[in-house]
Amino acid sequence: MDAQITATSPNLAPDTQKPLEHKIRFALGFLIIALMICIPYSMGSGVLLPQVFSGIKGISAEGALGTMNAVSAIFALVANIVFGTFSDVSKFKIGKRTPWIAAGGVIGAAGYFLTAHSTSLVWMVIGWCIVQIGINCVIAPAVAVLSDRIPEDVRGTFSALYGAGQIVGSQLGNFIGSFFLAKLDVGLAIGTGVFFFSGLIAVIVWPREKSAENNTKATSVGEILKSFIPPTKNCRDFYLALFGRLAFIIGTFMISGYQLLILERYIHLSVKDAGTAMQIMSIITLVASILASMVSGPLSDFLRRRKVMVCAACVIIALGMLVAWIMPTTTGIYIYATFAGIGNGCYMSVDQALNVDVLPNPQEAGKDLGILNLANTIGQTLAPAFTTLFIGIAGGYRGVFPVAIVFMLVGTIFIMMIRKVK
């Protein structure tokens, strides 16, 4: 009957109705899964593949990257909802989330391997579509564990660990990837290996999930199909959170998704100097994000405030973008990296806790969190389109920064309109 259990007190775990045990193992699991997904993803999409595309004659690196992200995002969009929903209704003896999390890493590794060994843009895109399927097979059920097993009064702290893992993983991916700009095949092979073990290690570290053999969430094909329907009742705050995150992702990825190309074509650095600058930016962002996440997650639990933390994060990142826009130099971009690290550390630490708090029905956490995660997918799809559009309008990256800032501020407005969460 685990699908029908909800905690009666904010300090009780929803699945056991007892105070949370094995806190360190849960903490490590959330941290590991975020790190091992984001490191290879960032290595590929942020550093290695843009360099691959730059070396293919007859194509635009920005256009190829945008095409890859746009097409693969369709698969990510569907996969997130599908695997989230399937994990809600699964009846596996080893748990309803565990098998999907373990399998997702293997699927992602297969797609990464295909991408690394392809010689045409078409096959690279196909490989990256498989990567997105694998990533979302891991993420959708993994994030739902926050709702299933973590008490409300410490959810911000565990969300912070997951968020910190995402930020640290992304920056480590950029940092590690920058060492393989001249050895792309080696870097892509490392990414494949990390992906393969990502889900497996996480489910081993986490305390074993209770059996889902008696899960009563859905018993027929009709009920399973019905479970895919998005929330329609008591869902105002849910959709505000969705649009707030969408604006944030678009604004963020308009800049962060093009860091290497910005360094080369906006700051006008050589490939070698751009690689060095990427390493310095990664270190700056890494340190700033770790410090911010260590403070913001526990602080949001203590103050019982989520919205203010998320909105402050958006404004901080927008300020960093403003500096980079006004100062198109390595100094300006390093200041941006500092602000981006602080803002992302704050945002990613609290955002997942806020999303769980606005769920209309905790029994459908996998599916509904999958819908919220669509903002990530759609945002990363739209961001390249906006970036390419405003590069064309302004004749370069200078026209991209102000648009990204506007998206960050729009995201702030949506989040502040939420009523259910303080």
Domain boundaries, the chain: 20-212+219-416
| Fold designation for 20-212+219-416 | Growth Hormone; Chain: A; (1.20.1250)
3-state secondary structure at position 119: coil
pLDDT of residue 28: 92
Per-10-residue mean pLDDT of the chain, 422 residues long, equals 50 77 89 92 86 78 80 84 82 87 94 88 92 92 84 78 81 85 88 93 90 68 64 81 91 87 88 86 86 79 78 93 93 94 84 77 71 78 86 87 95 88 68
Residue 134: predicted pLDDT: 95
The pair of structure tokens assigned to 59 is 């194509």
pTM of the model: 0.72
At residue 406, the pLDDT reads 96
Per-residue pLDDT at 201: 94
Between vectors from CA 295 to CA 26 and to CA 209, what angle results, nearest 5°? Answer: 10
For residue 226, the tally of other CB atoms under 10 A from its CB is 10
- Distance between alpha carbon 47 and the CA centroid of its chain, in Å? 17
Residue 193 tokens, joined: 């290996």
Q: How far apart, in whole angstroms, are the C-alpha atoms of residue 276 and residue 333?
A: 13
376, 73, 88, 76: which is closest to 228 by C-alpha? 88
Output the CA angle 173-158-375, nearest 5 degrees.
60
Identify which of 107, 101, 67 has the alpha carbon closest to the alpha carbon of residue 87.
101
Angle of CA points 288, 293, 295, to nearest 5°: 105
- What is the rounded CA–CA span in Å between residue 89 and residue 213? 10
> What tokens were used for 184?
């792309």
Cβ proximity of 85 and 225 under 8 Å: no
